[in-house]
Amino acid sequence: MEVTVLGCSSATPTSSRCPSGQVLSISGHLYLIDCGEGTQFQLRKLHINFMRIECIFITHSHGDHVFGLIGLLSTMSLLNRTTKLTIFCHPKLEEMLRPQIAFFCENISFELEFVSLRYDRPQVLQEVKTVYVKTIPLRHRIDTCGFLFREQKKDPNIKSEAIFKYGLTIADIVSIKNGHPYYDTMTGEEVDRTELVREAPEPKSFAYISDTIYYPAIVDEIRGVSLLYHEATFMSDLSELAAKTMHSTSRQAAQIAKMAEVKKLIIGHFSSRYSETDALEAEAQEEFPDTTAVYDGFRIVF
C-alpha cells in the first residue's frame, strides 16, 4: 500500500497547502479519496497518472473536499479517457454534478458511474479478490463518512522444493493452499505445513477518517489498522471551537489511534491559522508516539 497526500488544509487553500485529497495505491488499484481544489494540479506535480484512477471516494459534500471534481473530470475527458470511473458520494452531490458535467464535459468520453453512500451504518462498497472497502459513518455538520480499505488475504506460496520432494499434484497444491493437511504418500505421516508453504504477509489496511467531532464509536471499525489518517484541524487549546465546528483536535486524533491500537497515525486537515504543524504533531505524539503530521506531497509506503 502507498498513500500520497495531495492536500492537507482545511476549509481553504493556503500558500503551502491545498484542501483535502489523497491517493491510495492498493493491490494494483489506484483510488482518489476526496477531491479538493487543486487536486489535478497536485496529481501532475507529483507525477501520478490520474488516468489510472479507478474510483473516487468523497467523504462529504463540503467544498474543500469536492471543488476539484468537475475540473478533473473535464481533463480526463479532454485527454480521451475511455475506462469507466466510479464516484462514491452523497446522492445530492450527484444531483449537483450532473448539470455541470453536461455543461462543462459535453459528450464526456468515458462511462461515469455514481454510487450513493449511506451514513447511518457501515456500507460495503467493494469486495473483490484483492481489495475490501467499506464506509465508516462519522459525526460532522453534514452527512459524512470515512473509508476503510483492506487487502484481502493472499494465498500461500507452495515451496518448489516441496513439490519435487513429495511429487505434489495440482489437486494437492490446491488442497494445501486451502488449508488442508497433506500426508506423505510413502509414510502416511502428516507433513508439517511450514515445510510445504510460505505464508503470504498479513494483509495491510488503511482507514481515512475525514471531518468529524471526537467520535470514539469508530474505534472498533478501525481497530488494528496498519495506517490511520485522522483529521486534526485544531490544537487542544481550541477544543471548544473544534466541538462547535464539529472537528477534532490533534490530541483527540491521537487518543482515537491509541484506543484503536493502530500501527501508525498520520494527521492532517489543518486550520489555516497554523503556518507550521510541528506543534500539532508534538501534541498528538504525547498520546500516540508514532504520529506524523502530513504535508502536501507527503508519501508513505506501508
Q: Give the catalytic positions in this structure.
A: 64
Set of cell numbers at residue 162 = 516441496
DSSP-assigned letters across all residues of 93-159: HHHHHHHHHHHHSTT-SS-EEEEE--SSS--EEEE-SSEEEEEEE--SSS--EEEEEEEPPPPPEEP
Please answer whether residues 110 and 83 qualify as being in contact, where contact means their C-beta atoms are separated by less than 8 angstroms.
yes
Please name which of 300, 140, 297 lies closest in space to residue 204, comparing C-alpha atoms. 300
Q: Which residues contact 142 (CB under 8 A, 6 or more apart)?
A: 60, 61, 62
Residue 27's alpha-carbon distances to 2, 36, 170, 274, in angstroms, are 10, 25, 26, 35
C-alpha to C-alpha distance for 56 and 114, rounded to whole angstroms: 10
Amino acid making up residue 210: S
Residue 131's alpha-carbon distances to 4, 31, 167, 199, in angstroms, are 18, 11, 34, 18
Set of cell numbers at residue 33 = 479519496
C-alpha to C-alpha distance for 15 and 34, rounded to whole angstroms: 20
Q: How far is CA 186 from the centre of its chain?
A: 50
Residue 272's alpha-carbon distances to 14, 119, 202, 209, in angstroms, are 7, 28, 38, 19
C-alpha to C-alpha distance for 238 and 254, rounded to whole angstroms: 16
**Element housing 30 (H / E):** strand 29-33
